[in-house]
Amino acid sequence: MVEIRKPIPVAHAVELVMKHAYPLGNEEIPLENAYGRILAEPLLAKHDVPPFDRSPYDGYAIRSEDTDGASGDSRVPFRVIGEIGAGHVADRPINKGEAFRIMTGALIPENANAVVMFEQTVETKDAFTIRKPFSKGENISFKGEDAKDGELLIDAGALIHPGTIALLATFGYAHVNVAKQPVVGILSTGTELLNVDEELVPGKIRNSNGPMIMAQLDRMGIDYKSYGMHADDLDSCAQMVAQAIEETDVLITTGGVSVGDYDHLPLIYERLGAKVLFNKVAMRPGSVTTVAVLDKKLLFGLSGNPSACFTGFELFTRPAILTMMGADKPYMPRMTAELSEDFQKPNPFTRFVRAIWESTPDGVVARPAGFNKSSAVSSIARGNCIIVLPSGTRGFTVGMKVDILLLGAEQGVADWVL
Ligand SMILES: Nc1nc2c(c(=O)[nH]1)N[C@H]1C(S)=C(S)[C@@H](COP(=O)(O)OP(=O)(O)OC[C@H]3O[C@@H](n4cnc5c(N)ncnc54)[C@H](O)[C@@H]3O)O[C@H]1N2
Ligand code: MOO
């Protein structure tokens, strides 16, 4: 007798998964490896930025008080007493009527309080004139104007992106304290599966879920261990799952979670003593997505159907992994778009439609990416977002506003809740 499963709302399922996404602690890593990781401690300014008053232009450092009364008819002259390149320091202060040639980024010499760009001068040998007064502080980049010593700049939990790397480098962080990342196991189950390089034979298909999930992890910068493909044999599959759990922090399996004679994952979870958090979600595709916990490790039983597998990963696995690695914003960015094609299927469950969004002069529009069954592969390939259609709705027509979840965005940028 087939067990009747009770579907739970998507938001509840996400919440259950997230409750079991335990952080793995922190580690120090070299700055050059820190891109894509999550800051484990707040980033405080270790000194002022810039660390000294400096010139924002190539020009002349002067005393502003010496420019009083300058005009087109009455140009004020200056005598050039030397040159300061970036990285160099003036050998003496300036006095009345004097100027240093100064390059962008160079330390402002003592007594100078303004910079005149070369273009604002008429130059002769070792001298120049100007035609307008300058105010105190004009064209100076002030010490601490970008960041003040001790200031909180980035909170713990933030994704380290190229800008964060620049800031860490500015303060001399050769090593960075980041949250540890999980090692994720991937196992594709199904007797019908062939390797990518095998010829098709009747009844068999190539394993597309395994490579797809590896790529979904790759784009998050997550390490994985592939356990390849495994036929639907209960005992050996159970053994493989047990071994994979031993060797990894999170296990993703694909296929074998429905109610078919060879859908062994539910029984394998039972044998292992794993606690099943849910085995049916009120969503399409991916209603059979099953998540279990064993020894504080999350086991994601994603559907074998490619679109369901893909969606299950993005909705449940991705935010859980991001939370384990310390991210404070683990969800996909969400936007509103106008539907540019009809989508006429009824939606008894929340429907996640692989779709294409683009920005037009009239705003953001989105349309389904083609064949939209759970088994679809083609629409995953074409899509760059997922349209969310709430349960209980019938058809959606052109011009209606829909929510879309953006795929492939830099991890950890959004704070999306269903
Ligand atoms: N009696 C019922 N039958 C089914 C139900 C149900 O509620 N009652 N649910 C259907 C839904 S919805 C889905 S989705 C599928 C899910 O099945 P499983 O997740 O157990 O996956 P499999 O049966 O192993 O495979 C489904 C489908 O996907 C293909 N597949 C599997 N693995 C891969 C892979 N690695 N790469 C590419 N394609 C893969 C497989 O050949 C099947 O065609 O169950 C429905 N049935
Ligand atoms: O579990 Mo499914 O809802 O057709 O993908």
Model pLDDT for residues 337-369, shown as the tens digit of each residue: 999 999 998 999 999 999 999 999 999 999 999
Residues 200 and 282 in one domain: yes
Cα 363 from Cα 358, distance rounded (Å): 8
Cα–Cα distance between 405 and 58 in angstroms, integer? 47
3 belongs to a structural domain: no
Confirm if 284 and 260 have CB atoms less than 8 A apart: no
Using CA atoms, how far apart are residues 33 and 43, in angstroms rounded to an integer? 17
Q: Which atom belonging to ligand 1 lies closest to the Cα atom of 286?
A: 14
Nearest Cα residue to 356 out of 332, 330, 337: 337
Task: Output the CA 282–ligand 2 centroid distance in Å.
Answer: 10
201 and 249, same domain (yes or no): yes
Do residues 253 and 125 share a domain? no
CA dihedral (188, 193, 195, 197) positive or negative: negative
331 Cα to the center of ligand 2, angstroms: 22
Residue type, 85: G
**Which range of residues forms the domain containing residue 91?**
59-130
Among 8, 257, 284, name the best residue to mutate to test ligand 2's pocket (greatest count of ligand atoms within 8 A of Cβ): 284
Residue 374 resides in a domain: yes
pLDDT tens per residue, range 74-109: 999 999 999 999 999 999 999 999 999 999 999 999
Ligand 1 centroid – CA 315 distance (Å) = 18
Q: How far is the C-alpha of 49 from the C-alpha of 145, rounded, in Å? A: 7
Ligand 1: nearest atom to the Cα of 189: 32
CATH code for position 385: 2.40.340.10
Same domain, 20 and 124: no
**Residue 218 clears pLDDT 60, i.e. is over it:** yes
How remote is the CA of residue 225 from the centroid of ligand 1, in Å?
Answer: 23
**Cα 377 to ligand 1 centroid, rounded to whole Å:** 13
Answer yes or no: are the C-beta atoms of 313 and 14 closer than 8 Å.
no
Would you say residue 352 lies in a domain?
yes
Radius of gyration of the chain (CA): 31
| Same domain assignment for residues 81 and 63 | yes
Q: Give residue ranges with CB within 6 A of ligand 2.
A: 284-288, 303, 305, 308, 374
3-state helix, strand, coil in the chain (%, to 5): 20, 30, 45
Q: CA of 323: how far to CAs of 22, 23, 46, 125, in Å? A: 7, 7, 28, 64
Number of domains in the chain: 4
* Predicted local distance difference test score (pLDDT) of residue 3: 77
Q: Is the peptide bond before 285 cis (omega within 30 degrees of 0)?
A: yes
54 touches 106 (CB < 8 A): yes
C-beta separation of 52 from 201 below 8 A: no
Q: Which atom of ligand 1 is nearest to the CA of 284?
A: 12
54 found inside a domain: no
DSSP letter, residue 200: P
Query: What pLDDT is attached to residue 416?
Result: 47
Q: Is residue 418 part of a domain?
A: no
165 C-alpha vs ligand 1 centroid, how far in Å?
43
Of the three residues 286, 305, 324, the one that is the final residue of a domain is: 324
**Two tokens, residue 87:** 């990285």
Atom 5 of ligand 1, residue of closest alpha carbon: 258
* Domain end marker among 280, 300, 324: 324
Lining ligand 1 with CB less than 6 A are 188, 190, 192-193, 205, 207-210, 254-260, 263, 285, 287-288, 303-306, 308, 374-375
Give the mutation target among 208, 237, 279, 288 for probing the ligand 1 site: most ligand atoms within 8 A of CB: 288
- Asked if 18 and 44 sit in the same domain, the reply is no
Q: How far is CA 195 from the centre of its chain?
A: 31
> Are both 37 and 73 inside the same structural domain?
no
Residues 180, 186 contacting (CB under 8 angstroms)? no
Residues 168 and 185 in one domain: no
Cα separation of 267 and 253, whole Å? 14
Give tens-digit pLDDT for 101-147: 999 999 999 999 999 999 999 999 999 999 999 999 999 999 999 99
Q: How confident is the model at residue 162 (pLDDT cuts 50, 70, 90)?
A: very high
Q: How many Cα atoms sit within 13 Å of 18 on the Cβ side?
A: 18
298 lies in some domain? yes
* Closest listed ligand to the CA of 287: 2
**CATH value at residue 125:** 2.170.190.11
Question: 130, 163, 191 — which closes off a domain?
Answer: 130
pLDDT interval class at 408 (50, 70, 90): confident
Q: What is the mean pLDDT of residues 145-150?
A: 98
pLDDT band at 240 (very low <50, low <70, confident <90, very high): very high
Q: Which ligand is nearest to the CA of 284?
A: 2
Q: State the DSSP code for 315.
A: I
The predicted-structure confidence for 179-214, as pLDDT tens digits, reads as follows 999 999 999 999 999 999 999 999 999 999 999 999
172 and 191 in a common domain: no
Mean pLDDT, residues 145-166: 96
CA distance 77 to 121: 10
Q: Is residue 416 part of a domain?
A: no
Tokens found for residue 143:
């010490």
Axis crossing angle, helix 265-272 with helix 234-247, rounded to the nearest 10: 60
Instruction: Give the DSSP letter of residue 312.
Output: H
Instruction: Specify whether 65 is located in the same domain as 38.
Output: no
| CATH code (residue 154) | 3.90.105.10
Two tokens, residue 248: 């990894």
Q: Would you say 183 and 248 are in contact if contact means Cβ atoms under 8 Å apart?
A: yes
Instruction: Give the model's pLDDT for residue 417.
Output: 46
214 and 295 fall within a common domain: yes
Based on the domain organization, do 184 and 320 belong to the same domain?
A: yes
Classify residue 347 by its DSSP letter.
Answer: B
- Token pair 């050039």 in the structure block, residue: 80
Q: Is residue 412 part of a domain?
A: no
